[in-house]
Amino acid sequence: MDQTKLGWIYGVIGVIIFAGSLPATRIAVMDFTPEFLTAIRAVIAGIFGGMCLLFLKQAKPNRQQVKSLTIVAMGVVMGFPLFTALALQTITSARAIVFIGLLPLATAIFGVLRAGEKPSILFWGFAVLGSSLVTSFMLFQEEASFYSIGDLYMIASIIVCGLGYAEGGKLSRDLGGWQVICWALVISLPFMFYLTIWTIPQDFHNIHLSSFFGLLYVSIFSMLIGFFFWYQGLALGGIAKVGQIQLLQPFIGFTLSALLLSEKISFMMILITLALIGCVIMARKFS
């Protein structure tokens, strides 16, 4: 199997894991503050990531790689988790998931800026079409304003996450996929540990078991295991190209939101998701 196809396979596995992130975050922020959830999930994942690096005797990154790892940490360890947690205090996970349709375009743009990739014009056409469908959907929703605070938090999360994905995908070519997220977590561990202590709840007795399960998912799967596959997929298949797989994430996320949170999934959401799947297929064809 060639590297490009293998990269897409890794990417699909990563997206499937990431699809549970927003529903799990929505559940967790019912009892935890966004700041505490962001910090503790990074601490838990950082401890496991550090153990992986230590036990497998990985070489320390050089100074330039540390700079790139800092960008990764700011994007996917701190920025995206915090902004999505803040957003999910005021909007449903189903609504937040639709914004993920903008993430492939953000990743592709940063892939060009940070990694020097040059996708074809037709690729860009379908990437922009997919993102335009998401934007149009949000503009014509009746239940909330496009400029609500939750929506703005989601837009911010997409920007920082796209940067973190592109930077991590580029760095994975030299450092390795799972090593990138592990080192990014270790670098951010001191600050996130301090933030955990500062924001820790005074009383855990009123926190539901479901919130703990949500915390466990975003800590182990969203923050660590999912990136093992995702960054390896970006490194093998190309940041911009494999990044388009994220357009499939809303479809999986909608299903989880309906099953776990009993959130309403509109017929328009389904139509938009099917159209996004078509954009992924065509972007893959012309990449």
The per-type count for the chain, helices as H runs and strands as E runs, is 15, 0
Q: 265: pLDDT confidence band, cut at 50, 70 and 90?
A: confident
Phi-psi label, residue 201: left if phi above 0, alpha if psi -120 to 50, beta otherwise: beta
28-83 residue pLDDT tens: 999 999 999 999 999 999 999 999 999 999 989 999 999 999 999 999 999 999 99
The predicted pLDDT at position 138 comes to 65
Phi, psi of 207 (to 5 degrees): -90, 125
Least trusted range by pLDDT, from 118-122, 154-158, 190-194: 118-122
Contacts of 8 (CB under 8 A, 6+ apart): 233, 237, 242, 245, 284
Cα separations (Å) of 96 from 106, 117, 174, 246?
Answer: 16, 29, 33, 14
- Nearest one of 162, 127, 140 to 278, comparing CA atoms: 127
Tell me: pLDDT of 19 over 80: yes
Query: Which residues touch 216 (CB under 8 Å, ≥6 apart)?
Result: none
Q: How far apart are CA 214 and CA 3, in angstroms?
A: 34
| 178: pLDDT strictly greater than 80 | yes
Q: State the DSSP code for 140.
A: T
Query: Rounded mean pLDDT of the chain?
Result: 86
Q: What is the share, in percent, of the chain residues with pLDDT greater than 90?
A: 47
Residue for token digits 């990044």? Answer: 243
147-161, 178-192, 218-232 — which is least confidently predicted? Answer: 147-161
pLDDT in tens, 122-146: 888 888 887 788 767 766 654 545 5
